[in-house]
């Protein structure tokens, strides 16, 4: 199976040649081998300039089954490797990412459309999670418990699950896979990655880098696999009993389908779904500092992060002052080619995303919203791909139906609150999503109230920073329709392992628990 590259029609021919052409350039790969690819052709067109970057042929059902079988065999050997030895392989993968950071960051930027700085940041996330996973490889710790029976010892330990299925989204085409894969690898699992059909070349580049590291360390074939393809690949994976855990990142609609399919077979799902994230601007906030977090949260990645700031809940005492600052800041934003580092924002992922953006703006006005910063599609020189839009700010009410939804675009809804911080928290929590949240305040009582049990109902709650830009050291994920999963730091590694409780009797008799007598 070969990947067709169109290097003369795009801006990153040198990067494509180094990262995506060679032995590991297939859209279907088990690491050491590539498959022919008998599925549909996926064309990758850059949202930056509409140029065809390359095309990949996905997997047929037979090829999918072959990949899963290879991943199973790879797991059977890989799980026997000492965890620190597995960690050493991941350490070397992190070192290769350091070498290729600029190139991979440029590919992410060009294929997905985020700014080059954000592309570099995404690769840095991969490097950081590798470092985290290396340390984790010498932990993976359980607990010891005192037994009620004499001469007995109790403890728990953790074992790998098997083949881990990873379904990733276009907006973070490499980082989210690495969050899952590195932790799964050091835990002793093999991974099968179904990347977004909108960013297939990023997956091929990552697989090629990983495959070279794995080859020189004699890692068994199948520990790292990719299967490019459409929706059907995710459906196969979700229904496959050979895949004990499916980690899926994407829309709430997609997550509900994955969760239902995996749950029906009593498998495990790790879901990272939609966000409708809010920042509360207290009347006790540092408004200048708050502005940075709000603007980056709203326009970073063109509003296509699951943690993007969608709502600003502003105290009426500072509403006018802060919205004026917001309007001035939006007036300074530069939109254009994300590879040009002077630009703050690049394109949306495709023209369908533009249509959804326009539909949301129309709905907001029809529902009574007032335009504070006018949006709209951008046309003309430099915007020929049809994927560029202007970030918009709309004055809104919390109960407007469009405000209750997640629109994956740079639309920011601003609304007032009065009274104490409890009123703002109630507005923030009154949506179906529960991923990221923040409050801007210099009042300790307000901050602690926001972080308390009666405060934010989100998986992430920040004080004096925005909703976007999580570090890998903390567990990442949210509640309600965000799915409830946790990835990345803290003890997220436990999702990829099974817990086992052990009791050892080192005495000369066999007493029963709870004092039960059973004499023979």
Residue 377 is inside which H or E element, if any? strand 376-377
Determine the Cα angle at 283 with ends 277 and 288, to 5°.
Answer: 75
Residue 497 to residue 159: CA distance in whole angstroms: 5
- In order, the DSSP letters of 77-132 are HHTTS-HHHHHHHHHHHHHHHHHTHHHHHHHHHHHH---HHHHHHHHHHHHHHHHH
Asked if 306 is an active-site residue, the reply is yes
Q: Is 267 helix (H, G, I), strand (E, B) or coil?
A: coil
How many Å is the maximal CA-CA distance in the chain?
Answer: 91
CA distances from 222 to 17, 189, 209, 495 (A): 25, 10, 15, 21
Residue 236 is inside which H or E element, if any? helix 231-239
Q: Which of 118, 197, 272, 481 is catalytic?
A: 272
Residue 60 to residue 39: CA distance in whole angstroms: 5
Helix axes 200-216, 175-186, angle to 10 degrees: 30
Residue 31 to residue 300: CA distance in whole angstroms: 34
- The structure tokens listed for 134 are 């290396």
Residue 440 to residue 417: CA distance in whole angstroms: 14
Q: Where are the alpha helices (DSSP H) in 300-458?
A: 319-331, 351-366, 421-429, 444-451
- The structure tokens listed for 407 are 């629109």
Q: Which of 306, 406, 446, 481 is catalytic?
A: 306
How far, in whole angstroms, is CA 111 from its chain's centroid?
A: 17
Look at the block and give the residue holding tokens 């990153």.
Answer: 12
Instruction: Say if residue 163 is exposed, middle or buried (CB neighbours under 10 Å; 0-12, 13-18, 19+).
Output: buried
Residue 264 is inside which H or E element, if any? helix 252-264
Residue 180 to residue 164: CA distance in whole angstroms: 9
Residue 423 is inside which H or E element, if any? helix 421-429
Residue 325 is inside which H or E element, if any? helix 319-331
Are 63 and 237 in contact, with CB atoms under 8 Å apart? Answer: no
Which residues are annotated as catalytic? Answer: 272, 306
């Amino acid at each position: 199976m070969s990947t067709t590259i169109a290097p003369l029609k795009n801006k990153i021919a040198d990067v494509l040649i180094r990262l995506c052409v060679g032995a590991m350039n297939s859209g279907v790969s088990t690491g050491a081998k590539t498959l022919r690819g008998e599925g549909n052709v996926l064309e990758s067109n850059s949202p930056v300039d509409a140029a065809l970057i390359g095309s990949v042929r996905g997997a047929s059902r037979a090829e999918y089954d072959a990949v899963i079988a290879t991943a199973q065999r790879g797991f059977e050997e890989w799980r026997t490797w000492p965890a620190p030895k597995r960690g050493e392989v991941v350490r070397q993968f992190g070192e290769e990412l350091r070498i290729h950071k600029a190139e991979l960051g440029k590919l992410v930027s060009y294929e997905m459309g985020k700014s080059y700085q954000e592309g570099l940041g995404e690769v840095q996330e991969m490097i950081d999670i590798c470092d985290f996973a290396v340390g984790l490889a010498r932990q993976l710790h359980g607990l010891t418990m005192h037994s009620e029976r004499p001469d007995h010892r109790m403890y728990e330990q953790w074992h790998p699950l098997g083949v881990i299925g990873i379904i990733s989204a276009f907006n973070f085409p490499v980082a989210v896979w690495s969050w899952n894969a590195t932790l799964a690898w050091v835990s002793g699992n093999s991974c099968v990655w179904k990347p977004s059909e909108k960013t297939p070349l990023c997956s091929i580049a990552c697989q090629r880098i990983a495959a070279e590291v794995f080859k020189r360390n004699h890692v068994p074939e199948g520990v790292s696999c990719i299967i490019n393809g459409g929706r059907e690949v995710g459906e196969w994976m979700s229904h496959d009993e050979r895949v004990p855990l499916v980690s899926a990142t994407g829309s709430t609609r997609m997550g509900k389908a994955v969760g239902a399919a995996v749950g029906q077979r009593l498998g495990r799902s790790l879901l990272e779904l939609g966000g409708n994230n809010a920042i509360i601007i207290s009347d006790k906030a540092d408004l200048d500092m708050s502005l940075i977090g709000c603007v980056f949260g709203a326009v970073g990645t063109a509003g296509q992060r699951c943690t993007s700031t969608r709502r600003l809940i502003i105290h009426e005492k500072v509403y006018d002052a802060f919205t004026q600052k917001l309007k001035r800041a939006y007036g300074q934003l530069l939109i254009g080619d994300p590879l040009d580092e002077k630009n703050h924002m690049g394109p949306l992922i495709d023209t369908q995303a533009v249509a959804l953006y326009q539909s949301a703006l129309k709905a907001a006005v029809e529902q009574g919203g007032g335009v504070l910063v006018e949006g709209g599609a951008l046309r003309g020189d430099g915007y020929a791909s049809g994927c560029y839009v202007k970030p918009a700010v709309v004055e809104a009410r919390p109960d407007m139906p469009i405000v209750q939804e997640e629109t994956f675009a740079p639309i920011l809804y601003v609304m007032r609150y009065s009274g104490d911080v409890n009123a703002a928290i109630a507005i923030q929590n009154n949506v179906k999503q529960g991923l990221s949240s923040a409050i801007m305040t210099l009042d300790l009582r307000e901050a602690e109230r926001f972080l308390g049990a009666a405060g934010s109902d989100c998986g992430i709650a920040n004080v004096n920073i925005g909703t976007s830009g999580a570090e890998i050291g903390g567990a990442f994920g949210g509640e309600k329709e965000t799915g409830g999963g946790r990835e990345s730091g803290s003890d997220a590694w436990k999702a990829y392992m099974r817990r086992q409780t052990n009791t050892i009797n080192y005495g000369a008799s066999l007493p029963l628990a709870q004092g039960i007598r059973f004499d023979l």
